Structure 1
Amino acid sequence: MTVKSKAQNRLMRAAARDPKVAKKTGVPQKVAKEMVDATHGKKVGKMPEKMPKRGSRTATHKGKK
């Protein structure tokens, strides 16, 4: 699985590098390393800074307003 945003990319890279960060954030280092490896070589610059929260009105979705 690849990362979905710039913020997630930074978090996964930090967790893969530092066990203290991994423990503090609750992301296993193995998972962080897998995500970093899957994202390696992909352009992160065009990703959004953060993803909208699920179910928020700012997310683009079909349905009632």
Structure 2
Amino acid sequence: MQNVISIAWTDTELSEIDQALSTLEARLANLIALTPDQVRGLTKMGDKSEAFCRQTVTVLSMNP
């Protein structure tokens, strides 16, 4: 396989990326880990229910 991607980050870009990651980690700090049993107990969304929810959000945003 040929390596066709080459990225050279400047020190400023690396600093900005590091800051963005730090901010993201801070914002996600309150998330919790679920046990496998908890994950299995969650309601699943299929294609139809996802489409319904997206349409509902659209209608609600147009009719506050």
Q: Same fold (TM over 0.5)?
A: no
Structure showing the higher helix proportion among its residues: 2
Query: Which structure is larger by alpha-carbon Rg, 1 or 2?
Result: 2
Q: TM-score, normalised by structure 1?
A: 0.27
Q: TM-score, normalised by structure 2?
A: 0.27
